[in-house]
Structure 1
Amino acid sequence: MAVALSIFTVAWGGNEFTPLLVFYRQEGVFSNLFIDLLLVFYAIGVGVGLLAAGPLSDRLGRRTIMLPAPIIAAIGSALIAGGENTALLIAAGRVLSGIAVGMVMTAGGAWIKELASPRFEPGIKKGIGAKRASMSLTAGFALGPAVAGSMAQWLPLPGQMAYILHIILSLVLLPLLLTAPETRQTAHHGLKGSFWADVLVPSALNRRFLLVVAPIAPWVFGAGFTSYAVIPTLMHEMVSAPIAYSALLALVTLGSGFTIQQFGPQIMGNSKTRGPILAMIVAVVGMSGAFLISLHPHPWWALLVGVFLGLTYGLCMFMGLAETQNIATPSDMAGLSGIFYCLAYSGMVFPAILTKLNAWFSYPEMLGFGVFMAILCLGLVSITARKL
């Protein structure tokens, strides 16, 4: 629980920014492209955190890497709060928020996976570690924007209040991490090999990882950010409280993802194919819904589409993480998890790409291409999941 709460808090800070995209657009200080690029800055930070923290935590221990993460997240929130009208500050804050999220995804996810073992919890079932890690992240990703959007819509200091709350939450929960036992015991028996050898993560070349996990991963945040970053843009003029509506859409999306993740182990079972194929079927349905909404915008129907995109997020997150943990060796558990999450976060650039391409293509055309890509990935996973 101590590790899960830390992951939850950092994820809260990483995603509370999302509904405030609408607020920054209303303020008119930054261009729409820069506002969408803030998602890319965040994704860059996540990538740095993932690729560095995973091998480092495999090498030095989980607690060593996890302890600084909530502090870095709090500093990121402070910079964003102070940078409401300053591009450099807000961009730096987003990068730091991303780095912290990357750290907890890899080191924290591996820590939870190792704590969910017979050594610490006798009789525990397979897949519970992936379930707890994915649900901790999703709960933070869901409640962060829901609270932040509501505060920005109806409370004073809309550009600061949510970040102040996150800073307080981070510092209050930080001491709990000291109570969790270290699980990466080899970290205490001397360092073996070089850090750069750890970065290579040999299991990343596993064929099932390349041909089953990799095609699923981008749809985690590709679906999520289509729902709560792209669709609110299409609904902006159709709702009276656009910031709160964006927060509601994020809550519906990630709440659906959180709910389905509770049943992840049962859905996956002992089948090599059921989980990955179902995840991609739901991705096709969700992206098809987004395509239809772009043709005929309607706020209530958009919430229904958000449910399916949230189910896509939740299933792809759980199935991808469970597959990754099954493939990884004990020495590169966090490292391979970091690569999976990097692939997952590649879907975050989708809103910025759509904004940039909107000068040449319409949203229905671009989202229609997204449907085609989802069908292509479904076909690939349907073949490779059976064979590998």
Structure 2
Amino acid sequence: MATASPAPSPNAGWFPIASIMFGVGWGANQFASLLGLYTDRLHLGDGAAQAMFGVYALGLVPGLVLGGPASDRYGRRRIALPFACLSALVTVVLMAGVTAPWLLYAGRLLAGVVTGAVLAAGTAWVKELTPVSGTRMTALAVSAGFGAGPLVSALVAQWAPHPLVTAYLPHLLIMLLTVPPAFRVPETRVPRAHGGGAVAHEAGRGRSGLSGVRNPAFRRTIAPVAVWTFAAPVSAFALLPAFVPVHHLPIAYAGGITGLTLASGMAAQPVARRLEARHPRLVARAGLGSIACGLLLAALTIATGLPVLNAVAAVVLGAGYGFVLTYGLGEVARIAAPDELAGLTAVAYALVYVGMFAPLVLTVLAKAVPLGAVLTAMAALAASCLVYVSRQTRASDREHREHREPAAGRTVPDVRECSARR
């Protein structure tokens, strides 16, 4: 079992870990703005590039599911650092994909595994190094990597020779600079042996699964929001540029839309923190509302064929992404037990990345149903989710008030229990 080591000094060493998460996020998303170029250069069929984009999520799930609990048990360093090193090797596989397209599927799958392990372990690591602002730091680092990666790779691919190779070189440089300092960061969870009774107790807990997943707050107000985190913004940068293209500098345009989407997500996160100070559910409502409006703008973009509307939709959808990502990570940190923080974070990230399949699903549906109609239906679904979460919030708030006003002879419940019910 992994137990907490002596608490490090406040803010000790969080920046190197946030930096490798930035680098891994860069590597995970640098492929996004190259979808059109791959389709043209490698003569891929309809939906093949979107399938390469989405297969990343297939690797991400085992990376999260195995990496999160493993880091809870064996420590953060043993998971985050080796997989961060592997991120560079995955990029080399993608570079080789220009000569063997099947390597692109393999590279994207491996990128998912690597990203899942680093995000699960790294998020918990930073949270333990700097408890007050750790969630915000990781959300900003990941968002910055997701946005900068496709933007820079697109700019390199637009003007550099051999674009499907040179576009990946910046990521190799970033990992070379960020990984070595991370090896000097102190561990926050150290494996320790316990007596047989304790081991048996932990084994029983392990068989029962993560308690946080069974928490009503996770099922009712985290999971329904988390699934929208990427489902909406990837529609802006992995789908709309293909359906509403530009003829001048198309690669740079695709990268610019991706960067704009995720930069808007970063800009929304400080606003999300202010809303969170009033009530965490305000962040969820703002996020789902932005996503519903952004999907309607996406449908309007398809209907009019105006690329400028793609940029507007990207800003609104990106803001929604920033809100719901901040909300999800913050709520998970509140309800997770100390020995399952990374594991529950991994489950939340798995829900988040289900949305990476959205471009592939929408591309397939667009062959039978007008894409504008599909996007409008998604907007209605996001609005319905907003209503559902709002109702769940009112119910949980009433329950919270009842427990804060115990009847005579009843003890006041534990503060953590009340927080979990929220």
What SS is found at the alignment partner of 2:368?
Answer: coil
Cα contact 1:276–1:319 (8 A) shared by 2: yes
Cα contact 2:33–2:154 (8 A) shared by 1: yes
Corresponding letter in the other structure for 2:53: L
For residue 288 of structure 1, the aligned residue among 296, 299, 306 is 296
Show the counterpart of 2:350. Answer: 342
Matches of 1:79 and 1:368, distance apart in 2: 38
Matches of 2:362 and 2:272, distance apart in 1: 31
For residue 80 of structure 1, the aligned residue among 94, 97, 100 is 94
Show the counterpart of 1:120. Answer: none
- Identity over the aligned pairs, expressed in percent? 31
Matches of 2:100 and 2:374, distance apart in 1: 31
Show the counterpart of 1:309. Answer: 317
For residue 265 of structure 1, the aligned residue among 268, 273, 290 is 273
Superposition CA RMSD, Å: 1.7
Cα contact 1:51–1:199 (8 A) shared by 2: no
Matched, 1:163 2:163: no
For residue 33 of structure 2, the aligned residue among 19, 41, 52 is 19
Corresponding letter in the other structure for 1:213: I
Show the counterpart of 2:179. Answer: 174
Show the counterpart of 2:222. Answer: 213
Corresponding letter in the other structure for 2:297: G
Deviations 1:334-362 (A, max 9, x none): 11111111111111111101111222111
Matches of 1:162 and 1:28, distance apart in 2: 16
Show the counterpart of 1:145. Answer: 150
Show the counterpart of 1:56. Answer: 70
Corresponding letter in the other structure for 1:17: F
Cα 1:198–1:306 change in 2 (3 A) is farther
Cα contact 1:276–1:385 (8 A) shared by 2: no
Matched, 1:68 2:68: no
Cα contact 2:365–2:371 (8 A) shared by 1: no
Cα contact 2:50–2:359 (8 A) shared by 1: yes
Matches of 2:307 and 2:103, distance apart in 1: 33
Give structure 1 regions of 4+ aligned residues with deviation exceeding 3 angstroms: 188-196
Cα 1:259–1:184 change in 2 (3 A) is same
Aligned pair count reads 377
Show the counterpart of 1:184. Answer: 189
Cα offset, 1:200, TM superposition: 2.1
Cα 1:188–1:172 change in 2 (3 A) is farther
Cα offset, 1:365, TM superposition: 1.4
Structure number with greater Rg is: 2
Corresponding letter in the other structure for 1:235: V
Matches of 2:189 and 2:278, distance apart in 1: 27
Matches of 1:84 and 1:210, distance apart in 2: 42
Matches of 2:322 and 2:180, distance apart in 1: 29
Matches of 1:72 and 1:45, distance apart in 2: 14
Matches of 1:264 and 1:63, distance apart in 2: 30
What SS is found at the alignment partner of 1:67?
Answer: helix
Cα offset, 1:242, TM superposition: 1.2
Matched, 1:318 2:326: yes
TM-score calculated relative to the size of structure 2: 0.86
Deviations 1:355-385 (A, max 9, x none): 1122211111111111111111111111112
Cα contact 1:38–1:91 (8 A) shared by 2: yes
Matches of 1:239 and 1:200, distance apart in 2: 52
Deviations 1:318-349 (A, max 9, x none): 00110111111111101111111111111111
Show the counterpart of 1:121. Answer: none
What SS is found at the alignment partner of 2:228?
Answer: helix
Cα offset, 1:194, TM superposition: 4.2
Cα offset, 1:188, TM superposition: 3.7
After TM superposition, the structure 1 = structure 2 runs for residues 69-108 of structure 1, keeping only pairs within 5 Å, are 69-108=83-122
Deviations 1:199-222 (A, max 9, x none): 821210111111111111111111
Deviations 1:5-59 (A, max 9, x none): 0000010000000000011111143223221111221111111111110000000
Cα 1:198–1:156 change in 2 (3 A) is farther
Show the counterpart of 2:8. Answer: none
Cα 1:195–1:234 change in 2 (3 A) is farther
Cα 1:74–1:361 change in 2 (3 A) is same
Show the counterpart of 1:31. Answer: 45
Cα offset, 1:196, TM superposition: 8.9
Question: Which stretch shifts more, 67-76 or 323-332?
Answer: 67-76
Matches of 2:208 and 2:78, distance apart in 1: 18
Cα offset, 1:133, TM superposition: 0.9
TM-score calculated relative to the size of structure 1: 0.93
What SS is found at the alignment partner of 2:369?
Answer: coil
Cα offset, 1:82, TM superposition: 0.5
Corresponding letter in the other structure for 1:145: P
Matched, 1:242 2:241: no
Question: Which stretch shifts more, 20-29 or 307-316?
Answer: 20-29
Cα 1:11–1:209 change in 2 (3 A) is same
Cα contact 1:135–1:262 (8 A) shared by 2: no
Matches of 2:150 and 2:366, distance apart in 1: 26
Cα contact 1:277–1:378 (8 A) shared by 2: yes
Cα offset, 1:224, TM superposition: 1.6
Show the counterpart of 1:254. Answer: 262
Cα contact 1:56–1:195 (8 A) shared by 2: no
